[in-house]
Structure 1
Amino acid sequence: MAPTIVGVVVTILFLLAYMVKPQSIQRLSDLFFDQIQNQSPREYNPDTPVRIIDIDDESIRRIGQWPWPRNTVAKLNSRLGDAGAAVIAYDIIFSEADRTSPENMLQVLESNPNAQGKFPEILNLKSHDSILAESFKETRVVTGFFLLGNATADLPPPRQGFSLIGDSPAAHLESYQGALFAIPELYNAASGAGHVSFIPDGDGVVRTAPLVGRVGGRLFPSLSAEALRVVQDVPSFAIKSANASGEWDITKNKTPHMSMMRIGSFEVPTTSDGKIRVHYTTPQEARYIPAWKIMSSDPNDLDWIDKIAGHIVFIGTGAEGLKDLVTTPIKGGERPGVVVHAQIAEQIIQGDYISKPYWTHSVETVSILIFGAILALLLPHLKAARGIILILVMGNAIYFSSYFAFTKYAYLLDPVYPLLSIIVSYILITLTAFYMTESERSRIRGAFSLYLSPEMVRQVSENPELLTLGGEEREISILFLDVRAFSKISETMRPNEITEFLNRFLTPMTNILQSHEATIDKYIGDAIVAFWNAPLDDPLHQRNAARAVLEMQAKLADLNAKYRNQNEFRWPDTVRMGIGINTGVCCVGNLGSEQRFSYSMIGDAANLASRIEGLTKQYGLSNLIGYNTAKELNGFAVLEADIVSVVGRVQPETIFMLVGDEHVAREPDFKNLRDTHNEFLKAYRNSEWSRAKALCETLHDLSKTYKIFRYYDVMSERITSFSKTPPEGDWKGIYVAQNK
């Protein structure tokens, strides 16, 4: 139960984490989708009408140090316009006047006394900014500007409008305090203006780009969005909030969030804060044209013209030391910012969007819940190998579902939360189950170390499912062992001597029992109660019990010989014992009260075993076994002793004496003893007292080797009594015991 609870708790915690989306887990999600983008980048189509004019190192070497004079930029702009560029978008901020303009140079010259009045013709030259502004007016140009975190002067008039579909999502958009625009002359001459700001994620990677930003109460488009608006000659953008179509994000429902931006004929899905997820291609040389080629007058350098006509052209610098680098998820690392603007325009034109539809949140939530529940319910009941297979199947299902959703439909179906949920659940459930298993094994070892042999304790602790605690009915063989005349022995000993004697007697007997797979039930003073076939199955429990009896009898003889004449401690002259064994169905388990219990057995078969042990004294034998035990001892040296009606039972029981093992059973002397014994029983039960008496005397001599001669003495006395006072009625050979 506890492992399942752990799994449920982990699932709930990950559901809460999914709602909160901690940055550390979001980082893993980002890395996952970075990996997929690298494996399946957007395919570059050279026919997409987007190009980059690269102010590269070679262009600077040929044309001159950057920044170039604005009249040079005007020449570049005009040549692009003449080549048929649909829109020219600058990833360059013309925020200051050109310091190389004639009027600015004149101010420098006038500060030199030797140059005053010598260059009046300069006053008649146009400023470079004016030249560039005129070029802007002749083409469709979008200037870039920065969104800033600090307040700036009054914002210029808007170049575009925004309409809303649904409630305003402005509260979710990236907010800025100010902006750095091109100088008014150039800003007003251009057809539009777009911001060039990127907001990298916490690890510095640009995965999304804001299509729209907010400064105060005004909205401003990005450079790529504005270029697409201008090229379509539409006056405004349309912004759609999620609640306009019921796409309500339950994790961000304080205000409506943004879901789409319409740019002319393009409907661009966005994040809740107005960003586009950039679907990058690998680096492509085909999208670049070096600026020096545009400026070249060499006829051999005019191969670029066909690549410009009808294209949106982004101008930026890729020169070392000048490029504004951004880090992308694609291998190869940093790219100039102008590349990101161009790729955004490409993917919008191609309609190739990475999107996260509102329903993916429900799918991800349900995935966490379902996979977590499956793991919590199934894993605690599975073995290690199957548990690993389950987690691998679930993990692969989550991973490849997400992979397929991205590569096939460019959907972001986040696998990280479900994956982490099942991984953490697997670890914690496994650890909890391991801890509980070890605790259970430790408890079992502690509880059964007194009852079972070390090997049996190991088996039970490693396979607790074999153990049914609380009581189960099963067939067992029960042994009762008692020291003869223990009360008389104890009268002659001090308490510490009794303890010493019992320890030296019970310890080897216990070792023998446990070596033959017995469970020690209890010690009752000088007595031992044990049983077989519980808690572990023992299909040979009757035979194991018989072997234990024979070995204990031999061991007692050794103990008597060893300790009889020593002076280290007290040992009676001759210790004798009686053992009774019976087989039958009993209730076995933890028996007792709620305050105290022990692993034990109870049942009529156990009571009969106790009565049989009591009969050993009456028959002068060291052991007696019941019928259900004896019938399973094929090959053992077993002799039927009597049919007895014991005290407290109506049904008589046939009892047997265990003389020896299979080796004894094959001895000629025993075979002779057995045959004569069977003749004796036949005569006895047929009330042939004289013949039975004679056979008893013969058997007394034959049985001395096997130490059962006292039995025949007892039977001889009974026959003498019966010959004088025959049993009443139709006697069936059943002896009614008078004592327990």
Structure 2
Amino acid sequence: MALRLVRRHAARVVLTLLPMVVAMLQAAGVWQLPVVERLDNFIYDVRLRAHMPGTPDSRIVIVDIDDASLQQFGQWPWSRDKLARLSTELLVRQQVAVLGFDILFPEPDESSGLSDLRRLAEGRLRAQPGFAAEVERLAPALDHDGVFARTLTGRPVVLGYYFNGTRNALANGRLPAPALLPDAFDGASPPAVVWNSFGGNIAPLVQAAPHGGFLNVLIGRNDDGVVRAVPLLARYEGAAAPAGYYASFALAVYQVASGGTYAVAPVFASHGVVGRAAPLTALQVGQGTTHRRVPVDGNASVLVPFRGPGGGEGGSFRYVTAAAILRGELAPGAMRGKIVLVGTTARGLQDLRATPVDSIFPGVEVHANVVSGLLDGRFASVPDYASGYDLVQMLFAGLLLAFGMSALPAFQAVLLGVGTAALLVVVNVLLYVRGGLVLPLSAVLLMTALAFVLNLSWGFFLETRARRGLARLFGSYVPPQLVDEMMKRPGRYSMRAESKELTVMFCDMRGFTSLSEQVTPTELQTLLNALFSRLTAIISRHRGTVDKYMGDCVMAFWGAPVDTPDHAALAVQAAFEMAAAVREFDESQRLAGRPRIDVGIGLNTGVMSVGDMGSAVRRSYTVVGDAVNLAARLEGLGSTYGVQIVASEATRHAAPGFAWHALDTVRVRGSARAVTICTPVGRIGEARWAAGLAQWDALLAACRAQRWSEAQDLLASLDTQQNVNKVLVALYRQRVASGGLHPPDPDGDCATRFDSK
């Protein structure tokens, strides 16, 4: 079946598969389309915002050097003795668990003037008695860096610094000790990001607070500048500090909060691509039963687990202004055991970031979210098999759409396309919500959309062409409503000949010869066209197919090209209405003084051949066969029996909803088989027909059995009924009289033979 489908829709299947091939090349890394990355970022951002906890983390407090603090205590940078006061309040009076500075201290603080005093003591005031000694006596208080360093010494403090990558390696300040040595990744793939320059803190502060972490957040290819990931480790290869892998600010804060043990170990995938080292998949932080396994990507980065919107109004973390701390407004121990991060939301200090949850987001809160994620072990991650998963879902969706949409009708194809996209999204979201897995989605959605558009466009093109073909083939024969129905499934219909059970009709005008002798050819044409228009409209309304017009005769059939189970009933109803239409037309002609016209209709139901038939010069969609010939012969019998409609017994059985008047058993020219004929008299349930029809059936049975005396009595009874068919009564009176003159013939079938057309 699949092979037949491919052969039948090969071009459409191939067209639908093209987007899959392109998408799989993208997933395999053969090329990278920027639009795919941008769309993946957008999907990730929407998914992240929809599933943030939205609850505050009371374990972390942000001390904010905001615009109000700067206005009250002076512009930045503040003197280090002021920062020492801030630190003393937090470390001693508030007893915080960890104090982290999202601030860089790259240069000495000379705001006290101590260096100027020392130059004076060694210069112009060298001879001044006691001056130099007084300067040195005051030096401990005037050395703001020393004051700040002494405040931090032996305390749970983490300082921040920055890495850079430059052509010429630069270094400013000092770095803390690396978290891992350079050979920590031997035999595996190290983080891809390498830095050779840094901006650190001055030596006294690094010596006083040896715990530190880098503050870098924007890594890798992130063209939109939005912070989504933060590296937990960075590789430094410059000459100004020991080479190795350094911890991020958030990781350093977490480690100090966990007891200060710098135990970080890389975890590699248990498998790898042949010929390549095993990739980094996680970092193990801590030792023994307290260790935590943090999923990371190949750059040792984590996706920031944002809790909610940023800032003091965001509600994720408690914000306290630095001014309030310096003024001592908080009760002693109000922050006992908290992790406190000192940062800034002041616009002039340029530490506001663009993030998926807010376009203006405090940089310090980015680190706070990472620390919160480390405390809870709450991180979404891009697994190392993400590319393989992407290839599998592309293969699944591509093949499903290629073969499914090629075989289905338009509406079902639309449902398949929409359903496939919805399934991909639902699975992706469930894996994110339940397993924290960030898996690619944009490429397969773009592939699905493109395959959907291409397939429907191709289908529309073929369908339009098929519709035009159907209109050309059947428009002249089939009613418009049937053509519309056929166009829903154009592939099912063709001119190819086939055998089917149909009902065929011949409708001939009686008296048109006399009429043609009294009117001009133009008038005759007008009259005939008007009458045929009425009759054709009736045929079309009852789902019939006009076969041809033959002089003053119309040929039509029911049941093809559109399958119509009740074709016989529709043909009978059409015959009733056509006879009524001719009577109305005859009335109008009689009033105009023209000869009367009547109609003879022959109906037969049976198996016949239907299709495109004819010669190389002229062809038409028509029916042929013995069943057709019989209908043509029956049409001419109406005048003999005094009826307008003559139908075969087969039509009577196929249209049981009508009451039938049995007429005779006949053998027509060209057929050796005797056929029972009848005429419809109305719908079942019209009681006025019941008694008379039963008597006629009894009469015909008596005649077939050659019981002429019984037939004579039945005729006498029928002759007294109103609306009796006088022609038929006279015919049977003559037949009964003739039969009574001869002895019964045991071999006779009593069928009336008609040797002429």
Fold conserved between structures, TM > 0.5: yes
- Aligned counterparts of 1:527 and 1:684: Cα–Cα separation in 2: 34
Match of 1:95 in 2: 106
Aligned to 2:529: 503
* Amino acid aligned to 2:231: P
Say if 1:476 and 1:586, in contact at 8 Å, map to a contact too.
yes
Aligned residue runs from structure 1 range 73-112, under 5 A: 73-74=83-84, 76-77=86-87, 88-106=99-117
User: Of 378, 397, 401, which residue of structure 2 is paired with 1:352?
Assistant: 378
Cα deviation for residue 353 of structure 1 reads 2.4
User: Where in structure 2 are the equivalents of 1:20-419 lying within 5 Å?
Assistant: 20=32, 22-38=36-52, 40-41=53-54, 44=57, 46=59, 52-56=62-66, 60=70, 64-74=74-84, 76-77=86-87, 88-106=99-117, 121=132, 124=136, 125=139, 127-133=143-149, 138-139=154-155, 142-148=158-164, 150-151=166-167, 153-155=169-171, 159-160=177-178, 161-165=181-185, 167=187, 169-170=189-190, 172-173=192-193, 175=194, 178-184=197-203, 186-187=205-206, 190-199=209-218, 202-214=223-235, 219-228=245-254, 237-240=264-267, 242=268, 244-246=269-271, 257-265=279-287, 266-282=292-308, 291=322, 301-303=331-333, 306-307=336-337, 314-318=341-345, 321-322=348-349, 324-330=351-357, 334-359=360-385, 362-363=388-389, 365-367=391-393, 369-370=395-396, 402-413=428-439
- Structure-2 residue corresponding to 1:570: none
Deviation at 1:640, TM superposition (A): 1.9
Residue 311 of structure 2: aligned partner? none
Aligned mate of 2:669, from 638, 643, 646? 646
Number of the residue aligned with 1:557: 586
**Aligned twin of 2:749:** 732
**1:437-465 CA distance string (max 9 Å, x none):** 77766765665553344555566667889
Tell me which moved more, 200-209 or 436-445.
436-445
Q: Secondary structure at the match of 1:27?
A: helix
Cα distance in 2, alignment partners of residues 732 and 97 from structure 1: 131
- Percent of aligned positions with the same letter in both sequences? 24
Q: CA deviation at 1:233?
A: 5.8
1:66–1:548: structure 2 CA closer, same or farther, 3 Å change rule? closer
Q: Give the letter aligned to residue 557 of structure 2.
A: F
1:165, distance to aligned residue in structure 2 (A): 3.6
CA distance in 2, matches of 1:168, 1:671: 103
How many residues were matched structurally? 709
Letter in 2 for 1:31: D
The alpha-carbon deviation at position 628 of structure 1 amounts to 2.7
CA deviation string 1:664-708 (max 9, x = no partner): 99599x969x9799979977995999x99xx99xx9999999695
CA 726–344 in structure 1, closer or farther in 2 if over 3 Å, else same: same
Tell me how far 1:529 sits from its aligned partner. 1.3
Q: Which amino acid aligns with 1:732?
A: D
1:706/1:447 CA distance change after superposition, 3 Å = farther
Instruction: Tell me by how many angstroms 1:610 deviates.
Output: 2.1
Matched, 1:586 2:608: yes
CA shift, 1:196, in A, is 1.3
Secondary structure in 1 aligned to 2:602?
A: strand
Q: Does the CA contact (< 8 Å) of 2:281 and 2:384 recur in 1?
A: no
Q: Residues 369 and 711 from structure 1, CA distance in 2 versus in 1: closer, same or farther, beyond 3 angstroms?
A: farther
Call closer, same or farther: CA 1:589–1:32 in 2, change over 3 Å.
farther
Aligned partner of residue 540 in structure 1, secondary structure: helix
| TM-superposed deviation, 1:530 | 1.0
Give a deviation string over 1:18-39, Cα, whole Å, max 9, x none.
555713321332222322343x
Q: Is the 8 A contact 1:69 1:100 kept in 2?
A: yes
Moved more, 9-18 or 546-555: 9-18
Cα distance in 2 between the residues matched to 1:637 and 1:69? 115
Q: Secondary structure at the match of 1:521?
A: strand
Distance 1:677 1:224 in 2: 103
Which runs of structure 2 are paired with 1:557-576 in the superposition (5 Å)? 557-558=586-587, 560-561=589-590
What CA distance in whole angstroms lies between the structure 2 residues aligned with 1:396 and 1:95?
53
Which letter does structure 2 place at the counterpart of 1:582? N
Instruction: Report the CA distance between 1:547 and its aligned residue.
Output: 0.8
Secondary structure of the residue aligned to 2:184 is strand
Q: C-alpha offsets along residues 135-166 of structure 1, whole Å, 9 cap, x if unaligned?
A: 55655654322334544554477631344345
1:541 pairs with 2:570: yes
Q: 2:507 aligns with which of 474, 477, 481?
A: 481
**CA deviation digits over 1:513-547, x for unaligned, max 9?**
33454321223444321123443333623631541
Q: Secondary structure at the match of 2:630?
A: helix
User: Hey, what's the Cα distance between the residues in 2 that align with 1:704 and 1:80?
Assistant: 117
Alpha-carbon deviation of 1:659? 8.5
Instruction: Quickly say closer, same or farther: Cα 1:15–1:719, change in 2 above 3 A.
Output: farther
Instruction: Tell me how far 1:260 sits from its aligned partner.
Output: 2.4
Gaps of at least 5 residues in structure 2 are: 309-313
Q: State the 1:369 CA deviation.
A: 4.8
Alignment partners' CA distance in 2, 1:299 and 1:440: 83
- Distance in 2 (alpha carbons) for counterparts of 1:676 and 1:295: 120
Structure 2 residue identity aligned to 1:326: R
TM-score, normalisation: structure 1: 0.72
Q: Distance in 1 between matches of 2:67 and 2:541?
A: 90
Query: How far, CA to CA, are the matches of 2:380 and 2:719 in structure 1?
Result: 103
Query: What is the deviation of 1:344?
Result: 2.1
User: Residue 137 and residue 307 in structure 1: after superposition, are their counterparts in 2 closer, same or farther (change >3 A)?
Assistant: closer
Kindly state the Cα deviation for residue 612 of structure 1 after the two structures are TM-superposed: 2.7
